[in-house]
A and B are shown apart, each in its own frame.
Chain A
């Protein structure tokens, strides 16, 4: 009697049924292991993903296996290699923590599954009105091909035992660095933190910010970026190691701040300083702050490759990440400290309370202190800025 069952199971695994309704998706997902390809350089994020896996296993029978990446593009490359080999089913990447250029690249090449966001029950907590932060990724329309999971905002971090008055704008930063040569740097521009630093400077220095919302090719790139380069030409010689060498990413720079190699670091996460202090990775006197006039902010997304082997499980994970309880847990500074991506007006009273009850820390700026969130420029600016930076400053 067991044989027909076995045969049916074999058939099912050979020809996965395309689940349509959410209930069907949830039942198809049961027992799946979702290979979530996510940057692995942050232990807190890794811990959070482990926590999510435990919760999901208990509630849905879905487990997450984090594939720790040094660079998100590794996962993109893998999907391309699979497509190259004609593996259009049962791919090894189920879900990717993705943003901006990688998303644009995969979407353009048809490497993504979707649109799937609107199927997720918890999408009801999102502000999906046209032009809202959750519907645009670096000005690229999301169109349901990726689901938000955490909010990021650019901040600078300094040690107030060494620095009394940190620079409050990019212009002040130049003066500060001239006065303290070798005590500031930024991550390599290949890295998104390094390019975000330049984008933040560009937004502050450019006379007309609206031009940055168009593709860079439609603007006079040289003219628009001229103030940026003249500012940077002055800044670079005052940087750590004369601006010849740069830290690989923001984590390395945080370690440099901890070692006292530099006095200012940066992060795309307002809670990172508070969390780092808690983990013994920064001195108690470290503080995060935003620049006057606000800083760049964006939402991190998860996307599902077109050939994902466990796409139902991945959708269950994406839905779980949007749960108000999950978002509140993530906002806890002892966990992730990343601000919620949900629309507060769509939360019920008890759901809101979970957020209000979260602990605070002197190193954690309040929402008011963080100031306004500046919109990301079109991703082509990032690509072109990184290219021209490399041309200008790489021998």
Chain B
């Protein structure tokens, strides 16, 4: 009886996911593909042809954009992983996962765009670092003409992505560590004469990597197709492909929509191609690693490289911290000219005028965030509960569908999705934005929640059943309270993801739904750094507050429950 209930629930959830998440993406992709092959009746194009592709490749800088995209995407992901692995090696045995978690949680909450805006100010030739050492150390009375930020090689973009991805990968790795009997393996291998870093890299890491692979692909796909960070930090002439094609979509010449669609499909293919390259890399690295293991060399020198990586990770964290402080500082500045190390005049003027726009943007952000997160969390709980009740094993194919929005680049289907939404008569409103954001919030909530959910001791649930508690009472009185902490953490992750959404909000809101992120990115191409800083500060503060609440509420609610103060399950 329960089994069939569970099947029903699961079928319902699956139907919701299919109709609400997968179909729109498919429809969006379809419209984009059609436009990429010349079919866009809106501008009078109905003939199928390869012309858009020829036009795309003939656009000035198209090839450079493609190469830049691959370079910045692969390099930032590889470097982030390298630094994160090295730092994890160094941290192992020195800092507990919870200490590290506390250290880096703020960075997970802060949206990419806010960090990028703050970072641009810190590292630019006219930035905070240059200001604090000028003119006494450098002799600069005006900023030097150095290619930092918007540099043609995209190094600033790579750095900007690393500041955000290193902490993310570090945290994912630490979570995966708990699934590996690392301590025992460490003892066994050290007894064989291997150094700590060596054991970590050669024995523990390969087991961890298998578990974090999906996260790495998500990072890779994101780095290859990010628009907001690319706009703020990336090369400008030409920019990376995602930025270029967003510009083409929005160019005055509407005929550019066709080559832009071709570029959007190319963007998706690039992600696919990069993942294939990455897999090749995985095989090659695994091969090298095995050869190393077989040689049996005992080495202590790796300790140095892991220390170097830890220092790099520390630098990333420090830069990120500086970026956030710089934002807060700029938001209360009146004038701050080069090379003053600190503002010459302060003013809280920008903060005193919520009516100037940030009040509404903050409210929109909060409302959309809460609703999209609520929707995604309910859906995730329904999905996992359906799985439990049906007593069915996890369906990998269904899970694959959930993570689709994280792997397929947003630009590849958002334009088509916009057309589909308009066609369905729901474009340009808060509801469309909430829906579109849920596409991206749901997978992250699932990622954050499912491990803890599945790790819940089933005997607790069986005990409750044996005491006569039915499925609803088991869910409400046992599972949800015990899982309160991971549930709220997952919701906080979802909220942070929602706050950070740029393209979906822009496209689906028809620009009518200003959020902190869309406004901050728009304003970052304006002249008033102080106003931008207000938006970016709020944009960072909001998810951070939610994170803090997600930690504080269970800590307070379970202050007298020692069994629940630690990490769940």
Contact = CB atoms under 8 A, between A and B. Distances in A.
Contacts of A87: 422-423, 425, 427
Interface in B35-87: 40-43, 60-61, 64
B236 A246 contact: yes
Nearest to B143: A261
A387 B254 CA distance: 15
A71 interface: yes
Interface in B255-274: 257
A237 interface: no
B107 interface: no
Contacts of A84: 40-43, 419, 422
A259 B337 contact: yes
Most buried by B among A65, A68, A259, A387: A259
B529 interface: yes
A256 B526 CA distance: 11
A58 interface: no
B60 A82 contact: no
Given A76-B254, A80-B42, A249 B143 contact: no
Interface in A30-61: 35, 37, 40-43, 46-47, 50
Contacts of A249: 525
Nearest to B425: A87
Nearest to B525: A248
B142 interface: yes
B531 interface: yes
A280 B345 contact: yes
B41 A102 contact: no
Contact of B152 (A92, A245, A252): A245
A80 B43 contact: yes
B288 interface: no
B249 interface: yes
Nearest to A69: B511
A155 to B, nearest CB: 15
B526 A43 contact: yes
A109 B43 contact: yes
A70 B526 CA distance: 9
B338 A259 contact: yes
Nearest to A276: B527
A281 interface: yes
Contacts of A83: 42
B422 A68 contact: no
B510 A78 contact: yes
B202 to A, nearest CB: 43
B525 A70 contact: yes
Contacts of A240: 145
A41 B526 contact: yes
B388 interface: no
Contacts of A92: 427-428, 510, 512
Given A245-B150, A261-B142, A394-B237, A46 B357 contact: yes
Contacts of B567: none
A261 B125 contact: yes
What's the dominant secondary structure at chain B's contact region? loop
A394 B252 contact: no
Given A70-B522, A84-B41, A261-B143, A245 B237 contact: yes
A334 interface: no
Given A248-B525, A260-B337, A105 B254 contact: yes
Interface string A248-271: 110110111011110000000000
A251 B250 contact: no
A276 B527 CA distance: 9
B237 A68 contact: no
Interface in A278-310: 279-281, 283
B519 interface: yes
Contact of A188 (B141, B145, B237): B237
B252 A395 contact: no
A4 interface: no
Interface string A217-236: 00000000000000000000
B60 A391 contact: yes
Given A68-B519, A85-B423, A245-B150, A78 B527 contact: no
Nearest to A67: B511
A280 B238 contact: no
Contact of A37 (B40, B511, B529): B511
Contact of B512 (A35, A42, A105): A35
Nearest to A82: B422
Contact of A244 (B60, B152, B252): B152
Contact of A68 (B236, B238, B511): B511
Interface residues of A, number: 68
A77 interface: yes
Nearest to B355: A50
Nearest to B256: A73
Interface string B517-530: 00101110111111
Nearest to A282: B527
A240 to B, nearest CB: 6
A81 interface: yes
A395 B428 CA distance: 37
A214 interface: no
A19 interface: no
A241 interface: yes
B331 interface: no
Interface in B406-453: 415, 418-420, 422-423, 425, 427-428
Interface string A366-395: 000000000000000001000100110111
A164 to B, nearest CB: 16
A207 interface: no
B147 A73 contact: no
A258 B546 CA distance: 36
Interface string B473-496: 000000000000000000000000
Nearest to A44: B528
A35 B506 CA distance: 15
A86 B423 contact: yes
A75 interface: yes
A248 B150 CA distance: 10
B145 A245 contact: no
B522 to A, nearest CB: 5
Nearest to B344: A280
Nearest to B506: A74
A101 B237 contact: no
Contacts of B142: 162, 260-261
A244 B527 contact: no
Contacts of A43: 356, 526, 528, 531
A169 interface: no
B178 to A, nearest CB: 44
A127 interface: no
Contacts of B423: 85-87
Contacts of A256: 126
Contacts of B41: 84
A74 B419 contact: no
B241 to A, nearest CB: 14
B419 A85 contact: yes
A114 interface: no
Interface in B352-368: 355-357
Interface of A: 35, 37, 40-43, 46-47, 50, 65, 67-78, 80-87, 92-93, 101-102, 105, 109, 162, 182, 188, 190, 240-241, 244-246, 248-249, 251-252, 254-256, 258-261, 276, 279-281, 283, 383, 387, 390-391, 393-395
7 contacts: A41-B526, A47-B356, A73-B250, A84-B42, A246-B237, A391-B60, A394-B238
Nearest first, the 3 closest Cβ-Cβ pairs linking A and B are: A84-B42, A85-B422, A92-B428
Interface of B: 40-43, 60-61, 64, 125-126, 141-143, 145, 147, 150-152, 235-238, 247, 249-254, 257, 334-335, 337-338, 345, 347, 355-357, 415, 418-420, 422-423, 425, 427-428, 506, 510-512, 514, 519, 521-523, 525-531
Given A80-B257, A245-B235, 9 more contacts: A73-B250, A74-B506, A81-B419, A81-B427, A105-B254, A190-B247, A248-B236, A251-B528, A280-B347
